[in-house]
Structure 1
Amino acid sequence: MELFIVSFASLLAGFVDSIVGGGGLILVPALFAVFPTAPPATLFGTNKGASVWGTAFATVQFSRRVEMRWAALLPAAAASFVAAFAGAWLVTVVSPAYLRKVLPGVLLAVLIYTLFKKELGRHHAPRFSGAKEAYLASAIGAVIGFYDGFFGPGTGSFLVFLFVRLLGYDFLSASASAKLINTTTNVASLVLFIAKGHIWWHFVLAMALANVAGSLLGTRLALKHGTGFVRLVFIGVVSALILKTGYDAFLR
């Protein structure tokens, strides 16, 4: 029964994550609810072991149908990998607890900005090219990669928002680009969790398969319905993140 519950949660997480990020909002609480006495690091490692496959498959699916600006994204992926590994290491020696009260406010600002800017992310009009785009994308990858390794909630949503706001991508292209960065940050964190033995391999296989299934379904819907659909899901996921992180920070 435990395997069924966490695998179903992984499927739902893969579905949401493939569209706009935020799958951890579903899978991580499910793992903590099913295994309340397990070490948190082991549950986080198991989450990464499953979710990395969904984001990787989503990246491949998006890359076949959406313009991927590889000259900017590959350096960004490399920067995010190094930064995420550094963040994951830092969290083993410094607590990120102080971020809990800041995060809901940051997410609320992102939501309000998106709601008021009706045309934000509706059209794909990259603002930069060449080295300038690569530098800016790498800066985004490094900052959010470090955040993902150190703390994590809302990583996918932050990536999508920054690619839209700073680079001029539409929501569909931003989501596709975010999947590549999120895959590399997941791999970086996973390497550290594996090295420290914080992963349940006997659960990961089934959860990974479920995550990929959900990811493929979510990617198909995103590609079918386009940037308007992704924008709506983005608003929904960020709203849910505000409620969840706000509850964790102030009411728990």
Structure 2
Amino acid sequence: MKTLTGKTALVTGASRGIGRAIARRLAQEGALTAVHYGTNEQAAHHTLELISQEGGQAFAVRAELGVPGDIETLYTQLEDQLARHHKGPEIDILVNNAAISGSARIHDITPELFDHLFAVNTKTPLFLLQRALKNLPDGGRIINISSAATRIAYPESIIYSMTKGALNTLTLALAKELGPRNITVNAITPGYIETDMNKHKRNTPQAANELAAHSTFNRTGQPTDIADIVTFLASDASRWITGQTLDASGGTHL
């Protein structure tokens, strides 16, 4: 039997990149997976097609994050789709993956950029988790996708790093809060991953080689590298791990 058979999962920002890889792996392990997306409907449906081709089950949920009413919009659609799949409102696994980047050094940041990044990367996961507790049964799994920028100085994008640092703090506090319910809460901190977000950093062979050199394995990470770790944390095999921030940077800057 697959490790997540009978489970239900929600992955935010699952239309592309790391989120798509996570949704595919959870579905491969038997979870009915909600593929959340903000605006790129075509990409989200491609994720659904891939999951279907691999024998998994999934459905799409659309909600723009970081705007008023985003949480209720998402959960209204989620619960409606679960009912269509003859499931209750419960979700066993929540993966907070959706995020936006915004490069700016200290002299270039603006209040508008600060508010926008914190709205999507920090405020939304916080209130998404608050709302999720109505749906998350005892023994559930919460997995937050953070960033190695919380460990490695990244002055080129100071606000982004701050939003992820706050997510790590949330992970630690919530793990203690939900421990009595046997709900585990963990964070993963990827390094450089080959996604659209980092595409501009490897637009030449030289740039790609320099990016790969940050890792002790001399390569950039793949979305599946992160998806496999998420799948482990979503499974019963990780039941004794909570409140942890797992470095998944391929040994970047050791």
TM over 0.5, yes or no?
no
Which protein has the bigger strand share?
Answer: 2
TM value normalised by structure 1: 0.25
Bigger relative contact order (CA 8 A; separation at least 6): 1
